[in-house]
Amino acid sequence: MAAVMPLSNLLDARRVWRGRAEPLPAGEQPTGWAALDAVLPSGGWPAAALSEILLPLDGVGELQLVLPTLARLSQGARAVVLVAPPYLPCVAGWRQHGVDMRRIEIVSATEADVLWATEQCLRSGSCAAVLAWPRQADDRALRRLQVAADGGRALAFAFRDRQHLSNASPAALRLELEARPQARVWVRKCRGGALPAQPVALPRALH
Amino acid sequence: MLWACIALPQLALDGVLRRRADAGPLVLVAGTGHARSIVAANAAAREAGLRVGQRLSAAQALLAQFEALPYQPERVDQWHRFLAAVAYRYSAEVSLLPHAIVLEVSRSLNLFGSWPRLESLLRADLDALGFRHRISAAPTPHAAHVLAGVADGQAVLTDEQLRHALQRIPLAQSRLPAAAAEALPGMGIRTLGQLLALPRDGLRRRFGAELLLALDRLTGAAPAGLEAYRPPDRFDLRIELTHEVEAIGALVFPLRRMTSDLSAYLAGRDGGVQRFTLQLEHREGHTEVKVGLLAPEREAGMLFELARARLEQVQLPQPVIAMRLLARDLPAFVPAGRDLFDERPANALPIEQLRERLRARLGDRAVHQLGSTTDPRPELAQKVTAHDDGWQEPSPRPTWLFERPIPLRGAAPRILAGPERLETGWWDGGEVCRDYYVVETAQGQRGWAFCAPGERDGWMLHGWFA
């Protein structure tokens, strides 16, 4: 087999073909950030799946990223649940982002119960989105959340420290937030599409 | 009028057997000393040759190993009334007859469908509760009672059919006054049909008015004269365990029975339960487990799961010998409606049940909502409530709020907006006088910080614009 065959011949003969990911159905859960929707394969959050948001610090726009989605979901029939948030959600501030606070359920749980409570909420099927701040979540725990989100048709958001970026994660989408020199979002993993090479700017408004 | 009769041939035995998982030979005995005799025996015991009416000593000679429990008439009465409460779900006219329950169902058929359908509903309920039964229907309650005694599943829907059906009933099964039922066969009268054909005057002279009244009640010529059953306003169920239980796990099976009984009782009253108490009785004293719900509920699985979650947190100081379920206030139950265009998955757990499940494990106050108040002080501007007035604050507010402000250390932050002066609270001692700014730290975090009026120093951070 010394003869070198050009690849184009094989392609033309249909003996070799290029793999391509199945295009995802678009636009079910837009993030509310047009620039981010444009680079995400499903045109928004992966529906019924876990999205991981990795932060360097608190207060760098992590809620701003999800608040347009929460505002939209809080108009729907299903509840939005916050499991053990690190601070108190400020009612006036959330309302300035258009969130109906009557649809937001806050669950206080100890560190040991956070994953259990998150999984219960996701699995129940009566929550549109569940936000959690797990501190001791390993690969298996996140996989359980991913499965529960799929079973309950809910959006799951896990906010974690940026140090976890080097660990593999079963989340369908991983976003990393950057505060300096300006607020930007890196897509670090997205199921069903290629990773965008450039970060997406996150314009920060006060309200 | 159409009356259904539920005959309960083994009420005493079923009441005992239904809370047991095993099925070894078991008999109920009554009497004292050497006169103790068997009044009921389960299938395994009958197979071994034990019979009702046998002396206990004779039974012990036949079979080495069997369980003999005392026959408790008051317990039988309790189950009888419990089943009447369950039947109350299907009719407002329920009465107790010996070893039977009768209920007027002609109007219930409008709601539940034809008689065969209602009959299958009744049977499903009784099967689920673990009581053997025979069901019949007739235009009068006493006739239904007689028919249920003869065979299972008879339905006589019109007066004409009733006359016909009564013809062939032997007097021994007719539940007529004992004196007449014993004397008449000696005179050649063996069936109800023969008796009904006799002249009434002669019967009255020979057996008194009592027999005629019984016959008239049977055919519907006289009112049934039954006392209507009213379900009590509280639920109280106590079961004694067969042995001393030291592990909570062994209480789960009886607990499931108790909560499903409670659920059946609530369905009968068309009510729900919001609070109930489980009493775990020890040799001395008892442990109380209180179960509280946010809204009245009556679904058996949910009541069981919640009670179980509470029970599992209990440390038993002593072994448990009996368990009691008490529910005193039974408010009206409003079933949750579901929208036709509901976007939830078909097998979704309703949000109310999710809340209860979380509360059962995490504590009563674990699930809450936040709403705003009219107080401008950030610490008091929001509170735990289901009410939210929707007031739009014109000045920027953060999305994360700290429970109390913390000092902002490091280099002086960059000011993005402000100041917004809050000067209030002088009337209640919690006076606040602050200039709030939106600031950005050197790391790019946006915070909501304040300092004393007019100063740009001593920053206190009160929240994040996350």
Domains of chain A, CATH where assigned: 27-201 (3.40.50.300)
* Segment B2-9 mean pLDDT: 91
Q: In the predicted model, is pLDDT for residue B437 greater than 90?
A: yes
Query: Quick one: which H or E segment has residue B376?
Result: none
Contact A96 B355 (CB under 8 A): no
CB B437 within 8 A of CB B395: no
Whether the per-residue pLDDT at B449 is higher than 60: the answer is yes
Q: Identify the pLDDT of residue B346.
A: 61
CB contact under 8 A, A93 and B369: no
- What residue of A is the nearest CA neighbor of B403? A88
* Half-sphere exposure for B121 (CA within 13 Å, toward CB): 19
**Alpha carbon distance B4, A115 (integer Å):** 53
β-partners of residue B41 are: B27
Round to whole Å and give the CA distance between A99 and A96. 7
Say yes or no to pLDDT of B322 above 70. Answer: yes
Please give the Cα distance from B259 to A51 (Å, whole number): 40
Using CA atoms, how far residue B459 sits from B415, B420, B439, in Å, is 11, 14, 10
Residue contact B466–A63, C-beta within 8 A: yes
> For residues A121 and B349, what is the distance between their CA atoms, to the nearest angstrom?
9
CB contact under 8 A, B349 and A125: yes
| A58, A90, A102, A180, best to mutate vs chain B, most B CBs in 10 Å | A90
Give the closest residue to B433 by CA, choosing from B455, B461, B462, B453: B453
The CATH H-level superfamily of B236-367 is DNA polymerase, Y-family, little finger domain (3.30.1490.100)
Instruction: Answer yes or no: do A89 and B400 touch at CB < 8 A.
Output: yes
Q: B417 CB contacts (<8 Å, ≥6 apart)?
A: A206, B396, B437, B438
H runs (alpha helix) in A40-85: 62-73
The number of beta carbons lying within 10 Å of the beta carbon of residue B339 is 8
Residues of chain B contacting A124 with CB distance shorter than 8 Å? 348-349, 351, 353-354
| B372/A91 touch (CB, cutoff 8 Å), yes or no | yes
Q: H or E element: which one contains B61?
A: helix B56-62
Exposure string of B216-252, with b = 16+ CB inside 10 Å and e = fewer, is bbbbbeeebebeebebeeebebebebeeebeebeebe
Q: Cβ contacts (< 8 Å) between B347 and chain A: which residues?
A: 125
Give residues with Cβ within 8 angstroms of B225, minimum separation 6: B217
Contacts A–B by Cβ distance under 8 A: 183
User: Are B368 and A94 within 8 A, CB to CB?
Assistant: no
Q: How many helices (H) and strands (E) does chain B have?
A: 15, 19
Q: In b/e form, how buried is each residue of A25-60, taking b as 16+ CB within 10 angstroms?
A: eeeebbbbbeebbebbbbbbbbbbbbbbbbbbbbbb
Per the prediction, chain B carries an average pLDDT of 86
| CA neighbor of A106 nearest in space, from A81, A74, A70 | A81
Q: Do B344 and A78 touch (CB under 8 A)?
A: yes
CA distance B446 to chain A (A): 6
Report phi then psi at B58, rounded to 5: -65, -40
CB contact under 8 A, B392 and A64: no
Task: Looking at the complex, report in whole angstroms how far the Cα of residue A36 sits from the nearest Cα belonging to chain B.
Answer: 18
Bridge partners, B298 (sequence order): none
∠ CA B147-B150-B151, nearest 5°, is 90
Do the chains contact at B343 and A121, CB–CB below 8 Å? no
Number of Cβ within 10 Å of residue B454's Cβ equals 8
Amino acid occupying residue A190: C
What is the predicted pLDDT for the residue at B337?
62
What value, to the nearest 5°, has the Cα angle with vertex B403 and ends B397 and B407? 85
Q: How far is CA A204 from CA A33, A43, B415, in A?
A: 11, 21, 15
Q: Is residue A5 classed as helix, strand or coil in its secondary structure?
A: coil
Find out whether A83 and A117 touch, Cβ atoms under 8 Å: yes
Q: Distance (Å, rounded) from C-alpha B165 to C-alpha B153?
A: 13
Please state the separation of Cα B104 from the chain's center in Å.
Answer: 23
CA distance B251 to chain A (A): 24
Facing residue for B348 by CB, picked from A64, A125, A207: A125
Cα B203 versus chain centre, distance: 49
Domain spans, chain B: 3-24+66-219, 236-367, 382-464
CA distance B357 to chain A (A): 9
Average pLDDT over residues B133-150: 91
> How does pLDDT run across B368-396, given as a tens digit for each residue?
998 888 888 888 888 887 666 667 788 88
Condensed to tens digits (0 to 9), the pLDDT of residues B266-280 reads 888 888 888 899 999
* CA–CA dist B369, B317 (Å, integer): 37
Tell me if residue B287 falls in helix, strand or coil: strand
Nearest to B369 among A88, A104, A109 (CB): A104
Residue B444 token pair: 């790019």
> Contact B371/A109, CB-based, under 8 Å?
no
More confident call, B448 vs B67: B448
A50-to-A81, A112, B100, B342, B436 alpha-carbon distances in Å: 14, 20, 58, 23, 37
| Chain A residue with the nearest C-alpha to that of B353 | A124
- Give dist(CA B374, CA B229) in Å, integer: 54
Tell me the per-residue pLDDT of B213-231, one tens digit each, with 9 for 90 and over: 888 988 888 888 888 888 8
Chain A: give the shortest CA distance to residue B364, in Å. 10
Amino acid at the residue A13: A
**B interface mutation test: which of A88, A116, A133, A177 has the most B CBs within 10 A?**
A88
Q: Which H or E element spans position B157?
A: none
Phi, psi of A34 (to 5 degrees): -60, -40
pLDDT of residue A1: 53
pLDDT at A85: 94
Q: Alpha-carbon dihedral of residues B133, B134, B138, B140, nearest 10 degrees?
A: -50
Chain B residues within 8 A of A96 when measuring between CB atoms = 392-393, 396-397
* Sequential pLDDT tens for chain A (207 residues): 567 878 888 888 877 777 765 555 556 788 888 888 888 888 889 988 999 999 999 988 899 999 999 999 999 888 999 999 999 999 999 999 999 988 899 999 998 889 999 999 998 889 999 999 998 888 889 999 999 999 888 999 999 999 999 988 999 999 999 988 888 999 999 888 888 888 998 888 765
DSSP letter string, B11-29: HHHHHHHTT-S----EEEE
pLDDT at B234: 85
Is the pLDDT score of B254 beyond 60? yes
Tokens 């080097």 locate to A166
Contacts of B65 (CB under 8 A, 6+ apart): B24, B25
Average confidence (pLDDT) over B277-293: 87
Q: Is B195 in contact with B215 (CB distance < 8 Å)?
A: yes
Q: Give the closest of A90, A117, A126 to B399, CB-based.
A: A90
